[in-house]
Amino acid sequence: MTLKVLIIEDHELYRDGLRLLVLEALPGTTVLEAGDFASARSRLAEHPDTDLVLLDIHIPGTVGLDGLKTLKANHPALPLVVVSTVDHHASIQQMLQLGADGFIAKTSSRAVMIQAFQAIMDGEEVIISGQDPAEAISLSPRQIATLEQLALGLPNKEIASQLNIAPATVREYVSDLLMRFECDNRTQVVLKARRLGFILD
């Protein structure tokens, strides 16, 4: 059976490079391509038997992780692996929570990518990040939601209202975030969270 792989990537040169790597890793594969989100949805409609999607989250027609959410909502059983320069631990964690089946940093070497594509088609979960593990910080969905509200500059009372939780609980979350990010105040937390990819503007 011939495999079908859809590459969703807006940079033509990188898309061409990925296509060559896929063909080297999985000879005989039919490679489909899309340079924007609308084209990606059309390709999947035309080829419902696609076996794998390689997605760059920063493509025209979608913002942040919305494209990933939409694709997984419409095609929950279709394996989808993010190939991106956004390789912070926090961002990868969010992608996996939203249904991504793996992650490959764009900074990965040719040999690593080829091996990763082969492992993916063998049913393995592949997560290849260029980030130093020492930078890894794990947050719960509720902590991430609190962090996003902090980034908007909202006080505890408004955050509590937005998240439908008690102000005392918000204070607890904020204190925990200060400790986890090793910061002295909210502004420092937001700045560090942006640098590490917890907040995607």
> Which helix (DSSP H) or strand (DSSP E) does residue 136 occupy?
none
CA dihedral 155, 141, 65, 179 (to 10 degrees): 60
Other residues' Cβ atoms within 10 Å of the Cβ of residue 187: 11
> Residue 134 has what pLDDT?
44
pLDDT 10s digits, 136-179: 566 778 888 899 999 999 999 999 999 999 999 999 999 989 88
> Does the reported pTM lie above 0.75?
no
Pull the structure tokens for residue 45.
Answer: 């409609």
Domain architecture of the chain: domains with CATH? 4-134 (3.40.50.2300), 141-196 (1.10.10.10)
Residues of the chain whose pLDDT is less than 70? 130-138, 200-201
pLDDT at 89: 74
